[in-house]
Amino acid sequence: MQNFIFILVGFIQLGIAIYGTREVRKHFSSYALLVLIVVYGLAYDNISIALGAFLGEGALTKALNAPRYWIHALFTPTMMIAAFGALRMTGSKFAQSKTWHIVICVVATALIALGSYVDILNLNLVLQQENGILKYVNDFEFLKGPPIPAVLTIIFVLAFGVVMWRNIKWPWLFVGSLIMFIAAPMASVPIFQNIGEIAFAAGLVTTQIRAARGS
């Protein structure tokens, strides 16, 4: 059952990414490209986890799991840049500031550096089997608790969603990031995290489309 859920979520994410790709081709922006990389990464993340039960323990499954960590480390923090970019494209006065743009880019870069240290430079994949799911997880722990880059990224995007809702009456970036923020700590119930990821991806992609159309 769990494998079916991961496969389903993976293909939903893939559908969101493909839809976003078609729309972004009409109104291209580098911010949207960053979002699409992450959403395709989420699709890969879920599908590769689902494949673990079919492939079993071994080098192939381990190799398929490694890019999950690379993608999250290198691209998840860029979502704060993409969300800030959507604010710029929709005319937010706050987002026109070059100083704030630099600050956001510096924060995102710092989080990428931290994520790369934890999940690339110190990636130590070990087998984990639970509830019919077979996957490899990083055994290296920098600090106890949820991953700092992911949590801070969601908080920044959530805040930018509030600004966008206030400025142009577009609530979906806020709604998607809020659902992700609520669902993220529920690691013991994967379905909640799955729902959160879908909502987050949908909010990010539709916001980029709205920003491009309205720019």
Q: Is the pLDDT of residue 94 over 90?
A: no
Domain count, the chain: 1
- State pLDDT tens for residues 1-24: 677 889 999 999 999 999 999 998
Q: Is the pLDDT of residue 188 over 70?
A: no
Confidence grade of residue 146 (pLDDT, cut at 50, 70, 90): confident
What is the average pLDDT score of the chain? 92
Its sign, for the CA torsion 106, 177, 75, 205, is negative
Spatial separation of the C-alpha atoms in residues 171 and 207, rounded to whole Å: 9
Q: What is the CATH number of the domain that holds 148?
A: 1.20.1070
Please tell me the number of Cα atoms within 13 Å of 1 on its side-chain side: 3
pLDDT at residue 102, rounded to an integer: 95
Specify the pTM: 0.93
Q: Is the pLDDT of residue 215 over 60?
A: no
Spatial separation of the C-alpha atoms in residues 171 and 58, rounded to whole Å: 44
Distances (CA, A) of 103 to 5, 84, 167: 38, 11, 21
Q: Is the pLDDT of residue 174 over 90?
A: yes
Spatial separation of the C-alpha atoms in residues 128 and 152, rounded to whole Å: 26
Residue at token pair 């879908």: 198
- State pLDDT tens for residues 53-90: 888 899 999 999 999 999 999 999 999 999 999 999 99
For 62, the domain range is 2-214
- Residues 26, 211 contacting (CB under 8 angstroms): no
| Helix, strand, coil % in the chain, rounded to nearest 5 | 75, 5, 20
Spatial separation of the C-alpha atoms in residues 69 and 138, rounded to whole Å: 8
Q: What is the DSSP letter of 134?
A: E
Spatial separation of the C-alpha atoms in residues 88 and 112, rounded to whole Å: 22
* Average of per-residue pLDDT across 13-36: 92
Spatial separation of the C-alpha atoms in residues 130 and 17, rounded to whole Å: 29
- State pLDDT tens for residues 103-112: 999 999 999 9
